[in-house]
Amino acid sequence: MMQSVRQKNGEAGSALVEFALATIVMLVVLFGIIDMGRAAFAYDWVSNTARTATRYAMVRGTSCSTLLSGCNVGPPQGGYETDVRAYVNSQAIGIDTSKVTVTANCEPCTEPSCPLPCAPSNQVVVHVKYVFHEQRIGNDRLTVARRGHRTC
């Protein structure tokens, strides 16, 4: 015959309390790992998008072929900052585009602002900024920003 196992005095329900505490700790660690993965993805996306958007703007400079999408007939002929923004937004998979800021201009610049398209021998500079909002832990914010530049 089997005998029943009896709890010692004062230990009834202690396993349930230990399980609840361990579960809370494990869930906090798990969600922290998930959010750090999301932040790493956002950083990688911003870095890659700044690089590819700079190339997109460079190829669509003042001497671009009108056969390319985003190369406007003009004047001036070429791709504009709105085209670069549209390109960046089209690359945003898993990214909230309302939190993405894109600026593009030409350097060296002798005027207060040098908008796209850039003339040959000028540099295209594209800044991509993304505000990564941590939704699970308060209102902490992480801003990821990258700058890409190439010579036309």
Look up residue 71 and give its two tokens. 């190369």
The residue segments making up the domain with residue 80 are 14-151
* Residue 2 domain flag: no
State residue 29's pLDDT score: 95
User: Which mean pLDDT values do the consecutive 10-residue runs of the chain (152 residues) have?
Assistant: 62 85 96 90 94 89 74 74 92 92 85 78 89 65 80 70
Structural domains in the chain (count): 1
State residue 114's pLDDT score: 80
* Residue 3 domain flag: no
- Name residues whose C-beta falls within 8 Å of residue 136's C-beta, 6 or more positions apart in sequence: 31, 35
* Residue 37 domain flag: yes
* Residue 4 domain flag: no
Residue 61: how many other CB atoms lie within 10 Å: 22
